[in-house]
């Protein structure tokens, strides 16, 4: 069962156009465990998921290693939308927004997830792991 802390993620997911949409996901070590849960949830919900890593927890990894390939996949339309999780989400969303065609935002609540998709055509949602679970 999905934890209540996923409300903005599930709100974002519910705004996606179709169940057969291809969604890219990524996380650094700060969001690795949450990404694993999210991946399973998306697949069980009928979405095609392209995982950009991390593929194992590693405190030495760096979010641009996962953010940039995900953002480029969105820009090139290899995936339609993206969801990423890292420690704070701030730096990663800044990096993602440097890729032309990407509209990324750090989202921590249902209202912002809804508005971001419906009004701002958000195509990459960032979720802060540490905001959910503490440092």
Residue 64's CATH number: 3.40.1400.10
Question: How many domains does the chain fold into?
Answer: 1
- How many other CB atoms are found less than 10 A from the CB of residue 131? 14
Domain housing 54: 4-133
Residue pair 63/86 in contact by the 8 Å Cβ criterion? yes
Query: Any catalytic annotation for residue 31?
Result: no
pLDDT on residue 63: 86
pLDDT recorded at residue 87: 76
pLDDT in tens, the chain (135 residues): 344 445 455 656 665 656 678 999 999 888 888 899 889 989 988 899 999 999 998 989 888 999 999 999 999 999 999 999 887 778 888 999 999 999 999 887 888 888 888 899 999 988 776 544 444
C-alpha separations of 79 from 110, 120, 122, 126 in Å: 23, 18, 13, 16
Token output for 16: 């996606």
Quick one: pLDDT at residue 50? Answer: 97
Indicate which residue of 86, 99, 106, 122 is catalytic: 86
């Amino acid at each position: 069962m999905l934890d209540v802390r996923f409300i903005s993620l599930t709100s974002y997911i519910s705004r996606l156009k179709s169940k057969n949409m291809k969604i890219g996901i990524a996380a650094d070590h700060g969001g690795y465990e949450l990404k694993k849960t999210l991946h399973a949830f998306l697949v069980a919900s009928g979405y095609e998921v392209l995982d950009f890593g991390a593929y194992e927890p590693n405190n030495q990894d760096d979010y641009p290693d996962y953010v940039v390939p995900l953002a480029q996949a969105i820009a090139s339309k290899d995936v339609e939308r993206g969801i990423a999780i890292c420690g704070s989400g701030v730096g990663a969303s800044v990096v993602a927004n440097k890729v032309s065609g990407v509209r990324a935002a750090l989202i921590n609540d249902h209202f912002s997830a809804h508005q971001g998709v419906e009004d701002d055509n958000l195509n990459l949602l960032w979720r802060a792991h540490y905001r959910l679970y503490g440092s």
